Copies of this chain bind each other. A is one copy, B any other.
Amino acid sequence: MSTPADDTHALTLERIIDAPPALLYRAWTEPELIKQWFTPRPWSVASAETDVRPGGATLIVMRSPEGEDFPNRGVYLEVVPNRRLVFTDAFTEAWLPSGKAFMVVTISFEDLGGQTRYTATVRHWTEADRAQHEAMGFHAGWGKATDQLAELVATLPR
C-alpha cells in the first residue's frame, strides 16, 4: 500500500529524562500521578480518568487558577505499555466524533538504559490548528509540564 507523505502539521517536544520508560508510562496513565504533573502550575488537575486500551476513553479536567474547569476528553488509539501511547480528541468515546478533531498525540518512550528519550508529537488536521496551538503556548506549556513530569518521576521508586 502506498504511504501518504506525513504532512500532518506537527508540533514536537523531545527530551532526555533521567528515569526509565516504565516510570514515565506510569506517570502518563495512572490518574493519581497525572494529577501531579499534567498542567503547568498554577493550573491544576481537578480529576483524571483513564481507560488505557485502544478505544478506551480518557477525561482530564484542568482547573484554572481562578477555579474554572476545562474538561479534556479523548480516546486512546494505540497502547504499547512502557513504549508508546497514541490518543486523540477527535472522539469522546469509541467511536463518537467529538465537537472538533483537533489533534492526535503520540508519546514515545525510548529506553536509553536507565534514561529515556521522551518524544511528544502532536499532529493536527489543519495548519491553522497547528499554528493556533503554537500561538497558545504549546512549547512553553508542554515544556513546563515536562519539567514537572521529570521532577515527579525522580521521586518514584525505580
Contact = CB atoms under 8 A, between A and B. Distances in A.
A4 B124 contact: no
Interface range on chain A: under 10, 10 to 19, 20 to 34, or 35 or more?
35 or more
Copies in the complex: 2
A46 interface: no
A111 interface: no
A136 to B, nearest CB: 18
B55 A8 contact: no
B51 A1 contact: yes
Interface string A68-98: 0000010001100000001010111111111
Interface stretch (A21-29, A100-108, A137-145, A147-155): A100-108
Contacts of A54: 54-55
